[in-house]
Amino acid sequence: MEDCIYMIQSAPPGLETATPLVLVHDGGGTIVSYCYLDSLDRAVYGIQNPRLYSGQPWDGGLPEMARVYADLILSVVSSGPLLLGGWSLGGLLSLEVANILLRTSAVRVLGLVMIDSIYPLAISQAVSNVVGPQPVFSKDTRAYTRQLVSHCMELAQSMVDSWIPPVWRGCSDSGLILKRTELEKELSLIEPRPPAIMEDHADAVAPANITHADMKNGTTASNSNIDFPSIPKTILLRCDDYVPVSMPDTPDAVCRVDVVRELRSLGWEKYPHHFTPAVLNVPGHHFNLFTDEYIDQVSIQIKQSCKMLERDS
């Protein structure tokens, strides 16, 4: 399992103290796209889906994946400041991982860099003109790899459709708090944190103890007994263009990743935590932003995002 986290870039000379960045794979399960990035002036790690080659599903969905990924991260960054991020599904997973790390470890998550990650629960499942992924492969990509990636994307979509997102301090959605709390208990997702770590994160978590009666009485994440952390500062890189879709029988067809593109924060406005990521635009569409045409600009924006999050921490 440990061989699923890789160092993509080492910190350049003189920048060894820069906060490391961990980028989580996209829906296709690979981290190949991140290997094309220009220097981000820091150590950069990438996490590949450990089940890419087996094709086995994650029965516990995104939270189960995040628990495994949190442990992978702790194997290379056991404490101190950290930046998390990822493209598409990787942004959702980085949100999950941050929630776990802030509640169970000495790692301080300074912020998240979401790369065109939409809030999937903002999309109505009843929309009939929505089409699935339109991945862009290089001409050198083997057929076997394309099959693996496509299968991973199918599994990812299934997990996203049933996702119960993490809860943060101040959440007023009692239904979400209850469902998420029950899920975490079922998956044994959150292990008790040592007292020393509790003190280190005293300003980032809020105490709690939720019951069904509490839910009926309007319990929020601010007055419960679970250690809900504050949601990390987040920068969202938002693609300028829509994914081209050619479906003569459905002229108004739109790719799923573009259904909420008219919303400035790609649907995160609907996440029940007053979540307001800073938005930076990047050229290209969701599936071609890591191609030669756009990789330089994307690299610049990721680098700038990391520096902004460090500066504001």
The most confident of the ranges 133-137, 223-227, 276-280 is 276-280
Per the listing, tokens 């440990």 go with: 2
Three-class secondary structure of residue 147 per DSSP = helix
Instruction: Tell me the pairing of strands 44-47 and 5-9.
Output: antiparallel
Neighbours of 279 (CB within 10 A): 15
Three-class secondary structure of residue 51 per DSSP = coil
Residue-wise DSSP of 167-211? P-TT---HHHHHHHHHHHHHHT--PPPPHHHHHHTTTTEEEE---
Domain boundaries, the chain: 2-312
pLDDT band, very low/low/confident/very high, at 193 (cuts 50, 70, 90): low
Tell me the sheet residues that pair with 268: none
What pLDDT, on a 0 to 100 scale, did the predictor assign at position 192? 62
Distance CA 140, CA 27 (A): 20
Q: Is the pLDDT of residue 186 over 90?
A: yes
pLDDT band, very low/low/confident/very high, at 154 (cuts 50, 70, 90): very high
What pLDDT, on a 0 to 100 scale, did the predictor assign at position 239? 98
Mean pLDDT of the region 171-199: 83
What pLDDT, on a 0 to 100 scale, did the predictor assign at position 125? 67
Q: Is the pLDDT of residue 19 over 80?
A: yes
What pLDDT, on a 0 to 100 scale, did the predictor assign at position 219? 52
pLDDT band, very low/low/confident/very high, at 211 (cuts 50, 70, 90): very low
Buried b (16+ CB within 10 A) or exposed e, 119-141: bbbbbeeeeeebeebbbeeeeee
What pLDDT, on a 0 to 100 scale, did the predictor assign at position 206? 44
What pLDDT, on a 0 to 100 scale, did the predictor assign at position 250? 77
What pLDDT, on a 0 to 100 scale, did the predictor assign at position 14? 97
What pLDDT, on a 0 to 100 scale, did the predictor assign at position 13? 97
DSSP 233: P
Q: Is the pLDDT of residue 298 over 60?
A: yes
pLDDT band, very low/low/confident/very high, at 139 (cuts 50, 70, 90): confident
CB 258 within 8 A of CB 269: no
Give the CATH number of domain 2-312.
3.40.50.1820
Instruction: Give percent above pLDDT 90 in the chain.
Output: 74
Q: Is the pLDDT of residue 221 over 70?
A: no
What pLDDT, on a 0 to 100 scale, did the predictor assign at position 1? 59
Mean pLDDT of the chain, nearest integer = 89
Mean pLDDT of the region 111-122: 97
Mean pLDDT of the region 281-288: 97
Q: Is the pLDDT of residue 210 over 50?
A: no
Mean pLDDT of the region 13-25: 98
In tens, the pLDDT along 257-268 reads 999 999 999 999
Indicate the residue type of 49.
N
Mean pLDDT of the region 129-150: 84
Q: Is the pLDDT of residue 208 over 50?
A: no
pLDDT band, very low/low/confident/very high, at 225 (cuts 50, 70, 90): low
Mean pLDDT of the region 253-281: 93
pTM comes to 0.89
What pLDDT, on a 0 to 100 scale, did the predictor assign at position 248? 73
Q: Is the pLDDT of residue 223 over 70?
A: no
CB 239 within 8 A of CB 286: yes
Those residues whose C-beta lies under 8 Å from the C-beta of residue 254, and which sit 6 or more positions away, are 129, 130, 131, 242, 245
What pLDDT, on a 0 to 100 scale, did the predictor assign at position 209? 45
Mean pLDDT of the region 113-131: 87
Mean pLDDT of the region 281-290: 97
